[in-house]
Amino acid sequence: MLDQIIGQIRPLDAAAMAAARDRQARLTKPPGSLGVLEELSIRLAGLAGTCPPPLPEPVAVAVFAGDHGVHARGVSPWPQEVTAQMVANFLSGGAVINAFARQLGATVTVVDVGVATVLDPLPDRDEPVPDRNEPLSDQDEPAPDRDGRPPRLIIAKVRAGTRDLSVEPALTRTETLAAIDAGIATARTLLDAGARALVTGDMGIGNTTPAAALIAAFTGADPAEVTGRGTGIDDATLARKTELVGAALARHRPDPGDPVGVLAAVGGCEHAALTGFMLAAAASRVPVILDGVIALSAALAAVALCPDARGAMVAGHLSVEPGASVALAHLGLEPLISLGMRLGEGTGALLATPIVAGAVRVLQDVATFDSAGVSEK
Ligand SMILES: Cc1cc2ncn([C@H]3O[C@H](COP(=O)(O)O)[C@@H](O)[C@H]3O)c2cc1C
Ligand SMILES: O=C(O)c1cccnc1
């Protein structure tokens, strides 16, 4: 699916962007007074190919879950089984991303692309579990989310956790392409069900280590610049993690000109799936709101595969994980919010979605000086 989706990605529409820029200048506000929202609205018009662009709603979050062989090296204080336990928590509606989804009327879809254990989809419910790969519209469980549908699980497991990237490639090329395909298929499922904004989420104990390695590989940054404390590690663990990232890069010598090879060598199933998810959003000309350091590492791969994919990307927030700012600078994206968050799951990106909608509302709703009879300076 990868080549096909890349073939569908087009540059932003220059005429729609010019119309949006012109309209921004005529709206009843001092020019430039909406700061980064103005450029964002112009880019969203270019993505949609029309001015004003459609509202980025409904919003769908996809949380890609996977485990990591490098976890055995002690890069995270949390046991690996927390990945599967958090998947169960997402499905029961009890995680932070569920709380935010309830607040914002978004749907949550969890995709098992690489969890180490076999998942029990709904451990707390008695009724038989329906086929959870059905389209969203065919759900029949009680709806725990405010306006949306209940969380749902897609099983697209590529392998039960990656190999230890510090000693061997995390994934084969075939596995990497399968994970990318799972991300593309997830995006298509959500778009077919009506989503008009996609939010990237991740869950995978240890996944900030491959994220750091990917960011170093794609940006050329030093491992010490991009390796961070993840869920909260002490100085000794951070030193070991940084050394492992450096050792992995020295061993595999990933070539940024071969993004699939980079994802295979030092990435993870959820990172590769997120890359596919972003490319599919770009191909469908729907904005994809990027979360923290895991999403940004995947975004670097997506842009390396297809530079025009950047046009669909909106940086939701600035994670405190150091690799996030390095990746954002490389991508040339400005984060919409900065709240000191470092959770993942899609939480920072989801919180930014009303801002993206606000940027579109300005082009849709605000009167011009002419139409409102307001004097210009
Ligand atoms: C309870 C819990 C919930 C989470 N939700 C997201 N993450 C985040 O933390 C993990 C990455 O950090 P590291 O590389 O340090 O392990 C990922 O699972 C990420 O999604 C969580 C982590 C935990 C422990
Ligand atoms: O930046 C993130 O999304 C992040 C940071 C730490 C742990 N998990 C995720």
pLDDT, position 243: 98
| Pick from 47-51, 148-152, 188-192, 355-359: least confident | 148-152
Question: What phi and psi, each to the nearest 5 degrees, are found at residue 42?
Answer: -65, -40
Contact 60, 197 (CB under 8 A): yes
Tell me which residue of 292, 166, 135 sits closest to 226, measured CA to CA.
Answer: 292
Q: Where is pLDDT greater, at 312 or 140?
A: 312
CATH architecture observed for domain 59-354: 3-Layer(aba) Sandwich (3.40)
Distance 231 CA to ligand 2 centre (A): 7
Q: Which of 215, 241, 321 to mutate to test the pocket of ligand 2 (most atoms within 8 A of CB)?
A: 321
Q: Which of 319, 320, 345, 350 to mutate to test the pocket of ligand 2 (most atoms within 8 A of CB)?
A: 319
Distance 63 CA to ligand 2 centre (A): 13
Which residue intervals of the chain bear CATH 1.10.1610.10?
2-53+361-372
Q: Mean of the per-residue pLDDT values for the chain?
A: 94
Residue 134 clears pLDDT 90, i.e. is over it: no
User: Which residues are CB-neighbours of 53 under 8 A, at least 6 positions away?
Assistant: 16, 20, 41, 44, 45, 47, 360, 363
Determine which one of 175, 270, 345, 376 is catalytic. Answer: 345
* Proportion of the chain above pLDDT 70, given as a percent: 92
Q: Residue 229 CA: which ligand 1 atom is closest? A: 15
Residue 138 clears pLDDT 80, i.e. is over it: no
Quick one: which ligand is closest to 87's CA? 1
| Residue 321, ligand 2, Cβ within 6 A | yes
User: What's the whole-number mean pLDDT along residues 330-350?
Assistant: 98
pLDDT, position 148: 55
Tell me the CATH number for domain 2-53+361-372.
1.10.1610.10
Contact 377, 308 (CB under 8 A): no
Residue 115 clears pLDDT 50, i.e. is over it: yes
Contact 296, 329 (CB under 8 A): no
Residue range 187-220, pLDDT digits in tens: 999 999 999 999 999 999 999 999 999 999 999 9
Three-state SS string across 111-178, please? Answer: EEEECCCCCCCCCCCCCCCCCCCCCHHHCCCCCCCCCCCCCEEEECCCCCCCCCCCCCCCCCHHHHHH
pLDDT, position 351: 98
Extract the tokens encoding 65: 């879950």
Residue range 257-284, pLDDT digits in tens: 999 999 999 999 999 999 999 999 999 9
- Residues listed for the chain: 377
pLDDT, position 261: 98
pLDDT, position 149: 76
Contact 51, 16 (CB under 8 A): yes
| Pick from 117-121, 160-164, 303-307, 314-318: least confident | 117-121
Tell me which residues have their CB closer than 6 angstroms to ligand 1: 76, 78, 82, 86, 202-209, 230-231, 343-345
Which residue intervals of the chain bear CATH 3.40.50.10210?
59-354
Residue range 151-170, pLDDT digits in tens: 999 999 999 999 999 999 99
Q: Which of 61, 115, 207, 231 to mutate to test the pocket of ligand 1 (most atoms within 8 A of CB)?
A: 231
- Report the phi/psi class of residue 194: left, alpha or beta, with left for phi > 0 and alpha for psi in -120 to 50: left
pLDDT, position 240: 97
pLDDT, position 314: 99
| ipTM confidence score | 0.99
| Residue 86, ligand 2, Cβ within 6 A | no
In terms of C-beta distances under 8 Å and separation of at least 24 residues, what long-range contacts does 361-365 make, across chains too? 361/55, 362/24, 362/27, 362/34, 362/37, 362/38, 362/41, 363/20, 363/23, 363/24, 363/41, 363/45, 363/51, 363/52, 363/53, 364/52, 364/55
Residue showing tokens 């599967």: 84
Q: Residue 232 CA: which ligand 1 atom is closest? A: 15
Nearest residue CA, atom 20 of ligand 1? 203
pLDDT, position 120: 65
Nearest residue CA, atom 9 of ligand 2? 344
User: What's the whole-number mean pLDDT along residues 285-293?
Assistant: 99
* Residues linked to residue 64 through DSSP beta bridges, in sequence order: 111, 202
Calculate ∠ Cα 347-349-352, nearest 5°.
Answer: 110
Nearest residue CA, atom 7 of ligand 2? 230
Question: Is 345 among the residues known to form the active site?
Answer: yes
Quick one: which ligand is closest to 233's CA? 1
User: Which residues are CB-neighbours of 2 under 8 A, at least 6 positions away?
Assistant: 177, 180, 181, 184, 260, 276, 279, 305
Residue 121 clears pLDDT 90, i.e. is over it: no
What is the pTM assigned to this prediction? 0.94
Contact 270, 66 (CB under 8 A): yes
User: Which residues are CB-neighbours of 153 under 8 A, at least 6 positions away?
Assistant: 87, 91, 109, 110, 111, 112, 119, 121, 132
Q: What does the alpha-carbon distance between residue 27 and residue 12 come to, in Å, rounded to a whole number?
A: 23
Residue 318 clears pLDDT 70, i.e. is over it: yes
